[in-house]
Structure 1
């Protein structure tokens, strides 16, 4: 079944003709045999099985496939800030396995409290309370439950096109059709508004910094009762949409005026990705709840959680999480080692420097190639938007997929978002020389595909 170009929102398409041709040209019979076995046993789903390739090793910024091909991983599912197989994280996990491999509920351990204290020290304002979960989707659920408990109101407002996880409650606040379509009734009270930049893209208005979106939010709040929380990504990580500071500062004022909690989903972007430990630091605001995950566990152990304002510690009579691995001793060791590695190796400053390099290099690419409609950069998170016409912004969907597979053939993996956005998420340990190599691969592929 071929997927329509108009319905593509995230990732490469696992049933496309381009994928099949790439696999036939590049993968050995031995690799194809493993892929066929994977397809036989795993349930099929978009962006997963049937799979693209077979990976046998991952180290630093590289993946290595079964055929010995080394691939720069600028995707990494956003877990690899400190690189794959980071020895500091692995050693911390090994030591913790020898010391305390599992922490039963009702108990704590020194490693759990050390991690909690570290997060509180890093977070601004009165973000002084934490709770951990085994995954980001579960942490979104925690935040939603805490908002209901603290405010006594059950409705949320989030944005279309957002992603907050794949569970039923998370896709209810999420806004991507890939996850919501044909599922049936979703969680009641999950209202949606347009993303900050949608008026410009839909109606051709000038860039107003998202003020019209916030005007509409206030229109909703004047009419919508029982709204307890607004849930947003401070930067939409998939296609790297970056609201201006004024947008979030006004949003903070709106939340305060209407007595609404501001929940920021930083699951894919926290811990150095944008040059600061937390993304909301760029906006000079203090949210009520920050949700973290993905890279929190150093790409070794699944780890997520929330950091909340101290005044929200109001749920002692119920169980917000009650997860079996809530205060995982091994997960806490991995997370603490990850944060320590980022700090000790100056990766925040490095991300800022590489962000400046990426911005300069990508703007040069845009000037040289009319197919590039926009480039967006924040630290070591970048997007290259490919369009057939810069005025109409018509998406170059088929060509973008061809670019992706050409880059894969030349040793670079990245994500395609929204059908036509090359999203680059390099590990924070990536050097400028390695970034230059990756961008050269991309630029050559763009020339090859769109001049053919």
Structure 2
């Protein structure tokens, strides 16, 4: 019997299905790169052993050394514009030849242009930018800025949240999988339950507002709290709070002088059908953390955007001080990402795709009793697989069988919380490709359910 006890962020490294997949891959991939990978890299959860060896990526596809193509509905959230997009590659090539690196004591026009363009997409209150080489670093900068601004080191975060893999990021994260065996972490972190009513933003009900009210209880009970950090929309298993929840959170933060930090590292830049997810909820954060899709899958790029009034407070403190802070190559690609999303009207396209996906997945829910909740915005969707809709008992085995069955047929996606199929394709995907992916999913669901029932 497989152990699914600690599943949260991804699939199981060591299970009978993973072993079977690995054996088949070793036979199919003659160069045995998977074995060499396992022999040289430090093993860790969520990535070892690797599933396959890639040699190329183009559009929505990943291509392995045997020529097999996968439709990438995972992409670690860097693939908003797919792979090898001409505008991004062209911008990177031009920048490499012009200026590839900028030491911190200097600036460069590309970084300035990108920061200005990024601010131009934000609400008017958010005017100050600081770049970093990765999302965890962006979260770290946000934590430090919040402490500096408020003079308080305590924070409130959510259980189940993921904010990165650094020690400070896992300190405010809510998944035990990342904290296990780490010993003492950053002090002063209080956690509250996430809103557990998986509601679409158009639902005017306020059943998850009591989860927001609990934030105020903790603030008043604990004292000394300076910030609340949360994912605007929980990315991995696609949990979407109501508008009422976020309105109440903003109200509480304003009332108590608490900074609201929103982590949009995996979901910004069009994933939800808006440039930024907080736009769906009619709120403005004090600090927003960005990353992943920011660098277009070409350059690691992240950052924070915050309010003008906080600028004067940080003059004597190094919040980031990263070697690649004003990376001209990352800025060139980031600028190309913004311009491409805007010039190709991708936000409107994603909003249209959302309507189609909702219709298709609702039909699937009626067709299969093993499908529980379906949640989504834009091109970010979560499909819960359950043994019973009433009890919502997770169907771990079915989820794993479906994942490997889809991989075998050329569709790659993430499994979160052990039973949620997360579908997040590139924003450039066309309708025929979406249809092809849905057909694969339906075919594998049929096969997997039939196998388990017989």
Q: TM-score, normalised by structure 1?
A: 0.96
Maintained 8 Å contact 1:291/1:305:
yes
Cα deviation code 1:152-207 (max 9, x no counterpart): 0101111000000000000000011111112111100111100011799xxxxxx8
State the number of aligned residues.
445
The yes-or-no answer on 1:378 pairing with 2:386 is: no
Report the CA distance between 1:447 and its aligned residue: 1.5
- Correspondence list, 1:30-429, <5 A: 30-31=29-30, 33-197=32-196, 208-313=206-311, 314-429=313-428
Structure 1 distance, partners of 2:426, 2:434, is: 10
How far apart, in 2, do the equivalents of 1:226 and 1:125 lie? 29
Partners of 1:255 and 1:303 lie apart in 2 by 29
Distance 1:249 1:175 in 2: 22
Q: Which runs of 5+ in 2 are unaligned?
A: 200-204
Given that 2:60 and 2:429 are in contact with CA atoms closer than 8 Å, whether structure 1 keeps it comes out as yes
Query: Which residue in the other structure is 1:449 paired with?
Result: 448
Partners of 1:214 and 1:3 lie apart in 2 by 36
Query: How many angstroms apart in 2 are the aligned matches of 1:3 and 1:124?
Result: 48
Report the 3-state secondary structure (helix = DSSP H, G, I; strand = E; otherwise coil) of the residue aligned with 1:376. strand
Deviation of 1:254 (Å): 0.3
CA distance in 1, matches of 2:151, 2:207: 32
Deviations 1:288-341 (A, max 9, x none): 000000000011000000000111111001100000000001110010011111
Aligned-CA RMSD value: 1.4
Deviation of 1:3 after TM superposition, in Å, equals: 6.1
State the shift of 1:32 in Å: 6.7
SS at match of 1:228: strand
Displacement of 1:42 in angstroms is 0.4
Aligned counterparts of 1:229 and 1:426: Cα–Cα separation in 2: 33
2-structure distance, mates of 1:450, 1:115: 49
| Local SS of the residue matching 2:88 | helix
Q: Distance in 1 between matches of 2:392 and 2:385?
A: 9
Question: Retained in 2: the 8 A contact 1:231–1:264?
Answer: yes
- Kept in 2, the 8 Å contact 1:5–1:398? The answer is no
How much has 1:27 moved relative to structure 2?
A: 4.7
Contact kept? 2:197, 2:207, Cα under 8 Å: no
8 A Cα contact 1:139 1:305, kept in partner: yes
Asked whether the equivalents of residues 8 and 416 of structure 2 are also in contact (C-alpha less than 8 Å), the reply is yes
Cα distance, 1:396 vs. partner?
Answer: 0.3
List structure 1 segments (4+ residues) > 4 angstroms apart after TM superposition.
none
Shift of 1:31: 4.9
Q: Which residue of 2 aligns with 1:203?
A: none
Asked if 1 retains the 8 angstrom alpha-carbon contact of 2:28 and 2:66, the reply is: no
CA displacement at 1:24 relative to structure 2: 2.4
Does the Cα contact within 8 Å between 1:376 and 1:384 map onto a contact in 2? yes
Aligned residues of 2:95 and 2:328 also touching (Cα < 8 A): yes
State the distance in 1 between where 2:269 and 2:420 align: 23
Preserved CA contact (<8 Å) 1:26 1:409: no
CA distance in 1, matches of 2:254, 2:307: 14
Unaligned runs of 5+ in 1: 201-206
Map Cα deviations across residues 194-247 of structure 1 (whole Å, 9 max, x no partner): 0011799xxxxxx85312212221111111111111000010000000011111
- Give me the whole-angstrom Cα distance separating, in 2, the residues matched to 1:33 and 1:83: 28
Q: In structure 2, the residue corresponding to 1:44 is in which secondary structure?
A: coil
Distance in 1, Cα, partners of 2:45 & 2:333 = 30
What are the superposed Cα offsets for residues 119-171 of structure 1, whole Å, 9 maximum, x if unpaired?
11100131000000000000000000000000001011110000000000000
